Structure 1
């Protein structure tokens, strides 16, 4: 990354042209139709500074419609149409069609983000890329050495010299549509398809002999991901889980990870040996090693959370690795021989404990309305052909791609909720659950989300961040739903804001949201098959 090109300049218009194509590629040595941006997989990295205006002209040369979502970004009033959600904020960009996204980023927003397709199962085929917003460099928060930014945090352990972006996620050798068709069949039993590999910046090795299905392998084995670091420098790693299903645990042998950002929020530095990253989540960490020496090599591990898998895939190596080298070309050294950290229960990273770095961000607003109770699950009803439909409060979301919800008025026959005087959430249609907020008011509400399943759900809110006030542990017995007789004790100061947070299996969570940006915003599980099968709803902020 190149923060030095952005932190010292004023806000400006940044223009990109994206051409989307389907191309035969072999990121791990197995041939597959991969969706590329300008011939690249992953797509080009977008670097901005806070307050820049982003203009991206997209030409869709795929055989199906698509849209690009700017994951984690907030939008100014009146620009919700640029959020990139087919059936909600826009119609899909048709094959051979073009569309230009243009919006101004918030002067107050900086951090690690990404863009990805929100159409069909295209995210599983690689239609994504990194997006980083660098904060402007005030004199009091910058130490210059060679013209490069050195720190944002005050603690010496949080300083860095260079930045790397790591896009990490599970990978399927079947195309996304084929993968979802397998899931969307009563024969799957509602078991999510297990990936075949996990890629790091679009690359990884794979043992073709282990595959249990017919695949086509390239004659030359792919190279393992490698990163050569300067032992005299300190590195900031920006981490994004681009995967479709699995949580990833990232670690670097003998190195500590100083967590300094979560989903775009600067946090009080926390030291971790291994970091759990769910699909859609992002972190920034300072890579810390006491005395790196030229010639040293270490494993960077990005193992997959096997609790997400309900059946075995014997071709999958659940503990893929990359190589960290200090200033020595690959040709001069063998692979590392370092051992993985022994992470005890006491050492486990707990995202629930992250605190905002800015003291002013620790003020927690009071709620202005009663909590909203949500139940999320997957059910195979006979009337649905025993297919695994995802639900939020008994409604399974299906986007109306010909007439986006943003362009619709509430149904004329919608019945009004007597408590609010607004259309009831389930009166918009059989496949649309829409909660409206008060007109011309900033609403603060607690979302109580109950996960009634034997699998975790990383929920993502478009256009806003939220305070994760409480995330329960998985229940040993029963469903672990919110208990009104024995409610959890909520904090009185604000934790670090997030836009994607895991709700564990058979558990519940309380997210406090300040809905202050008008528009229609999707709230959904970021596991791809759960979203595509209907586990989503909409907030209509008026």
Structure 2
């Protein structure tokens, strides 16, 4: 019954009109409705009979609406379970069903919250922060009608990690595939997930700086499998973890975009997990007064409620600056997959890291026999990109891992996370996937990029992000809706011709800065063939035109390379990536640190038919329908 009600809700929302629920019933549902026996009645009672039938149908409709409302409310309560910190997931419900259409209606607003005890204006979706979690399976169609209820801000949504094959205009990248959704307007994102696509993803704003102030949510695509009633069910839960600033990100970028920052990244004040945190109010500094109320340990939910067995934790770094290292007292963490479903070969460790902004990892949590009396969930903010000090920040954050930690009052804070012998370095993982012929073959096109932050006097000593001497800035119309003759000199967009035989691409990103850059490529996943981090004072760039692989710095992995869509380019080093350009369109590539992207560290690729470098045949005028010019 619940499945039929869900199908009915989806049909109602796709049509944008739920007034006539009965008319949406399928033939099977109509056959299931109770019917009266076929008997002969006097004609004088026919009016009474009609009234009875109408009354019955009205009562049935009202009951259906009540049950439907309960079903929707149940889904919402599951997504925002107050009894545990991790968002519970429902893999069996989705992985064992047929592909379907999932429809959502989201209203975006602003409101005051105190995620970690400090009040701040954050974005809400349907009144929730973070926004709703979408769960689906491979092959599903997803329809999201987004209403911009903000007063004076445009917005867009990006589906981080999804290939969006055939749906370039739905990618949500302002400047590339759309203009922002204007206030008091709406837009429908409508796309289909590939049949071979599954894993941990997430959605977030790709307009201005809204992601840093809370406009994001989870997106989990389950791998299809047969239903086995005898199979042991594994709990799954989602963790959206990221650094957190008590000031608006607009103020953060304004500070960074001034000579005062000297190009040093801003340092966060705290972290939040699924919209909650525990900030020590005594650490606030007088120069930045805040309205803070400490969260009592007894009021904070545990990470999970299950103190035995195994739990699959799907972890997303939603932050804007810092990498994350994770550990759980009395439990091991084993990496299972990274990014969009790439299975990895890894042992269990006491701690796992570093997970950079935009990256994801699935961890198998197993409780040990010598479980701690009060187990804590530990999160450490990597210091590499925290050039300036922040006396308001404690880089070690601890949260109750189990209910017994919440009820234990011997201490309010756990000891700092310590790296033990069994630490799993995510940069050292290898894939368990079979090696691809495309990966092991020579690439047909090589693209060489240099990323850097520069503070030049010609620009007033304001730090700007550059890729190959170009600092990106969006135009008034998205590139997808224009041909190349209309692009300005801030659009560094290499052309990749790819016809019936897709082009194999080797992408080299050299990082000239002394801090890492997590780069995300829209529309594609890629294999990480090589990654190199230079020692202090040296430079480890890779020149594919002058260097052989055997002589280049760093180790190569062409046998079992990781498949990812977001990768950290090490400081003063490089990555060598490989992908098959089989997804036509205009796709963005950018640093996922917002202050870097916000100051120009972005580029992209135009993938089109050979001979269409001017972007005439691939032009999509619908990409400009939201633009106000």
TM-score (norm 2): 0.77
Local SS of the residue matching 2:267 = coil
Quick one: distance in 1 between partners of 2:294 and 2:409?
21
Q: 2:148 aligns with which of 60, 71, 81?
A: 60
Corresponding residue number in structure 2 for 1:434: 493
Q: 1:343 aligns with which of 404, 411, 419?
A: 419
Deviation string 1:75-94 (CA, Å, 9 cap, x unpaired) is 122x1011110110011111
Q: Assess if the C-alpha contact under 8 Å between 2:472 and 2:603 holds in 1.
A: yes
Quick one: distance in 1 between partners of 2:314 and 2:175?
31
Q: 1:322 aligns with which of 370, 377, 399?
A: 399
Structure 2 residues without counterparts, runs of 5 or longer: 1-88, 609-629
Deviation string 1:436-466 (CA, Å, 9 cap, x unpaired) is 1114141111111110001110111111011
Deviation string 1:260-312 (CA, Å, 9 cap, x unpaired) is 0100212234323222110000000100223377x943111111011211111
Corresponding residue number in structure 1 for 2:604: 538
Quick one: distance in 2 between partners of 1:341 and 1:247?
15
Quote the offset at 1:381 in angstroms: 1.7
Distance 1:398 1:363, change over 3 A: closer
Quote the offset at 1:481 in angstroms: 1.2
User: Structure 2 matches for 1:330-409, cutoff 5 A?
Assistant: 330-331=406-407, 334-335=410-411, 342-343=418-419, 347-359=422-434, 364-400=439-475, 402-409=476-483
Quick one: distance in 2 between partners of 1:387 and 1:329?
47
Corresponding residue number in structure 2 for 1:251: 327
Corresponding residue number in structure 1 for 2:528: 468
Distance 1:406 1:254, change over 3 A: same
Local SS of the residue matching 1:258 = strand
Quick one: distance in 1 between partners of 2:373 and 2:338?
29
Deviation string 1:27-76 (CA, Å, 9 cap, x unpaired) is 11111111111111111111111111010110111221110000000112
Corresponding residue number in structure 2 for 1:417: none
Corresponding residue number in structure 2 for 1:423: none
Deviation string 1:497-528 (CA, Å, 9 cap, x unpaired) is 01111111111111112111011111111111
Pair 1:274 & 2:336 matched = no
Distance 1:288 1:335, change over 3 A: farther
Local SS of the residue matching 1:271 = coil
Corresponding residue number in structure 2 for 1:421: none
Quote the offset at 1:329 in angstroms: 8.2
Q: 2:191 aligns with which of 73, 83, 103?
A: 103
Deviation string 1:120-172 (CA, Å, 9 cap, x unpaired) is 11111011111111111136xx6745xxx64xxxxxxxxxx201111111000
User: Structure 2 matches for 1:181-260, cutoff 5 A?
Assistant: 181-212=254-285, 213-219=287-293, 221=295, 223-224=299-300, 226-260=302-336
Quote the offset at 1:182 in angstroms: 0.8
Corresponding residue number in structure 2 for 1:505: 571
Quick one: distance in 2 between partners of 1:473 and 1:109?
31
Q: Assess if the C-alpha contact under 8 Å between 1:298 and 1:338 holds in 2.
A: no
Q: Assess if the C-alpha contact under 8 Å between 1:376 and 1:449 holds in 2.
A: yes
Distance 1:225 1:436, change over 3 A: farther
Quick one: distance in 1 between partners of 2:561 and 2:479?
33
Paired residue total: 507
Quote the offset at 1:366 in angstroms: 1.8
Q: 1:71 aligns with which of 160, 167, 179?
A: 160
Quick one: distance in 1 between partners of 2:346 and 2:424?
12
Corresponding residue number in structure 1 for 2:383: 306
Quick one: distance in 2 between partners of 1:397 and 1:529?
13
Quote the offset at 1:342 in angstroms: 4.7
- Structure 1 stretch 224-233 or stretch 279-288: which is displaced more? 224-233
Which of the two has higher C-alpha Rg? 2
Local SS of the residue matching 2:104 = strand
Quick one: distance in 1 between partners of 2:312 and 2:256?
38
Q: Assess if the C-alpha contact under 8 Å between 1:363 and 1:493 holds in 2.
A: no
Quick one: distance in 2 between partners of 1:114 and 1:469?
25
Distance 1:394 1:340, change over 3 A: same
Pair 1:18 & 2:93 matched = no
Q: 1:167 aligns with which of 240, 254, 258?
A: 240
Quote the offset at 1:490 in angstroms: 3.3
TM-score (norm 1): 0.88
